[in-house]
Amino acid sequence: MNLLRHLLKLYALAELTLKVLEEGTNFLSFEEKLWQELNNLGQEVLREVLEAKDAYLREHREKRPGWRVERRNDPKEVLTLFGLVNYKRTYYRHKETGERVHLIDRLVGYGPHARVDPLVKAQALEEAVDLSYRKSGERVGRGNREVVLSGEAVKKVIHNFTLEELPEPPGEKRRGKVLYVEADEDHVAGQDGKKYLPRLVYIHEGKEKVGKDRYRLKRPYYLGGLYSDTDELWFEVLSYIEEQYELSSVERIYLCGDGDRWIKKGLEFLPRSVFVLDLFHLDKYLVAALGRDSDGYREIWAALWEGDEVKVQAILRRAGKAAASPARKEAVRDCRRYIRRNWEGIMAYRLYPGAELGVSAEAHVSHLFSARLSSRPMAWSARGVDRMARLRVAKANGVSLREQYVARRKEGLKALEIDKAAVEEERQRLRKISGEVFDNLPALRGPVTSLTRALKALSRNIDLLW
- Write down the mean pLDDT value for the chain: 85
Tell me, yes or no, whether 229 and 351 share the same domain.
yes
Does residue 407 fall inside a structural domain? no
Least confident among 4-13, 115-124, 334-343, 355-364: 4-13
Same domain, 394 and 426: no
With the CA atoms of 365, 367, 369 and 373 taken in that order, what torsion angle do they form, in degrees rounded to the nearest 10? 130
Look at the chain and report how many structural domains it folds into: 2
- 464 band by pLDDT with thresholds 50, 70 and 90: very low
| Inside any domain, residue 167 | no
Encoded amino acid at 117, one letter: D
pLDDT above 70: percentage of residues in the chain: 83
pLDDT single digits (tens) 345-396? 999 999 998 887 777 888 899 999 999 999 888 899 999 999 999 999 999 9
pLDDT for residue 448 is more than 80: no
- Specify whether 455 is located in the same domain as 356: no
**Residue 218 in domain:** yes
88 and 28 co-located in one domain: yes
pTM of the model: 0.81
Q: Is the pLDDT of residue 41 over 50?
A: yes
Query: Do 229 and 299 belong to one domain?
Result: yes
Model pLDDT, residue 430: 58
Residue 66 in any domain: the answer is yes
Please tell me whether residues 239 and 363 are part of one structural domain.
Answer: yes
Same domain, 47 and 183: no
Q: Residues 321, 391: one domain?
A: yes
**Within 10 A of 19 (CB to CB), how many other CB atoms are there?**
16
Residue 319 belongs to what domain range? 178-398
Task: Compute the distance between CA of residue 113 and CA of residue 375 in angstroms, rounded to an integer.
Answer: 36
* Confidence label for 462 from pLDDT (cuts 50, 70 and 90): very low
More confident residue, 20 or 269: 269
Q: Are 434 and 6 in contact (CB under 8 A)?
A: no
Question: Same structural domain for residues 427 and 387?
Answer: no
Domain boundary residue among 398, 427, 452? 398
Asked if the structure places residue 152 within a domain, the reply is no
Q: In what order do the strands lie in the sheet containing 221-225?
A: 221-225, 199-204, 178-185, 252-257, 273-277
212-225: string of b/e by CB count within 10 Å (b at 16+)? eeeeebeebbbbbb
In the predicted model, is pLDDT for residue 22 greater than 70?
A: no
Q: Express each pLDDT in 255-309 by its tens digit.
A: 999 999 999 999 999 999 999 999 999 999 999 999 888 888 999 999 999 999 9
Do both 294 and 378 map to the same domain? yes
Q: Are residues 15 and 92 in the same domain?
A: yes
